[in-house]
Structure 1
Amino acid sequence: MAKDLTCQGKIDMQALEDRHKELEKAWNDLLKERREFEARIHTLEQQEKQFELKWELLIQETQKLADDKLQFERKKKFFDQVQAHSVEPYVAEDNIVHGEMFFSGVTTPKALKKRYKDLIKIYHPDGESGDTATVAEINREYEDLKNQM
C-alpha cells in the first residue's frame, strides 16, 4: 500500500507540475498578448498625434488660402475700378508706364526682385512690348523700393 501511495504521489506531483507548466505558458502568452496590445495602442497614439498635427496644419493653410483669396479679390476689385475710370493703364503723357503701378502690393524684398525680373522680361527693349524709357522707369522705381526695404 505504501508503494501505491508513493506511485499516487508521483502521479499527483507530475499532474501538478504539468498544470504549473500550462499555467506558466498561459501566463506568458497573456503577457505577450498584453505587450502586443500596448504596442498597438502606442502606434495608434502616435498616428493620432500625427493626424492632429496634419489637421491643424490643414486648418491653418485653409485659413491662409481664404485670406489670400479675399485679399486677391479686393485687389482685383480695386484694379477693375481703376480700369473702369481710365482707358489705358497708368501712362504718362510721354508714353512711359510708371513703376508705382507695377510694384503695387509688393511687400518683401524677394517679391520685389521677382516682380522686377518679370517686368524686365515683359518690357525689355528687344521684346514685343519693349520700351527703353519704360525699362528705365522700372529700374528707377526698383532701386528706390529696394533701398526702402
Structure 2
Amino acid sequence: MSRNNLFSNESLDQIFDWQIDEEYKTALREIEKEKIKLQQEIRNFERYKHNVERHRKKLEHDIEKINQERIEFVEAVHVFEEEKKELKRQKDEFEEEKRKFELQKRELERAQREHEDSVKSFNQHKEHQEVFFNNKFRILEEELKSVARQKDKLAKQKAFYEQVSMFDREQRELVQEEQTVMRGEKFFVGVESMKSLKKRYKDLLKIYHPDNLNGDTETIKEINREYNNLSQDFSE
C-alpha cells in the first residue's frame, strides 16, 4: 500500500492543524517571553530613567552647590585679600611698635645705667656722709660729755656761790649785830670766840680746800694764817 493511501486527507488536515497549533503555541510562548523580557526591559528602562532623573537632579544640585561654593570662594578670596591687607597693616603697625619698643628699650637701658651710676654715686656719697656723721657724732658725744662736765662744774660753782652768798649774808648779819671790836682781817670777820672761830674755819675749809672744785692753795694759806693769829689771841 502506498504512503498516500496510509493517511487520508482528513488525517493530514488534523496533523497540519496540530502542527500549526504547536507552532502557534510555541510562537505565543516566545511572544510571552519576549513580552516579559520587554516588560522587564521597560521596568529596567523606567528604573534607569528614574536613576538618570535622580542623577540629573543631583547633578543640578551639585552644579548649584558648586556655583554657590564658587561664589563663596570668590567672597572668601575677597575676604582673604582684605584680611591679607589687614594683616599687612597690622604687621606694619607691629614693626612700628617693635621699632618704638627697641627705642624705649635702649632708652630704658640708658636710664638704668644712669640710675646705677647715680646709685653708685649716692652710695659713695652716703658712705662719705656716714663717715662724716660718725665723726661729727663722736665730736658731739665728746662735746656733750664736756658740756656734762661743765654742767657738773657749774652746779658745783653754783653750790659754792650759794655757800659764799650765805656766808657773806651771815657775815653782814654778824657785822650789823656785832658791837664789839671785830677780829680777823678778811675771812674771820665777826668771830668773837674760839668756838665760832673753829666753826668758821671748818666752813672755810669746805669751800677753799685745794681738793675741792673751786679750792685754792693761796687762799687756804691766808685762811690758815688768820686762823693761827686769832687762835693765839683767843688763847691769851
Q: Which TM class, normalised by the smaller chain length?
A: 0.3 to 0.5
- Which is greater in Rg? 2
TM-score of the superposed pair, with normalisation by structure 2 = 0.32
TM-score, normalised by the number of residues in structure 1: 0.47
Q: By percentage of residues, which structure has more helix? A: 2
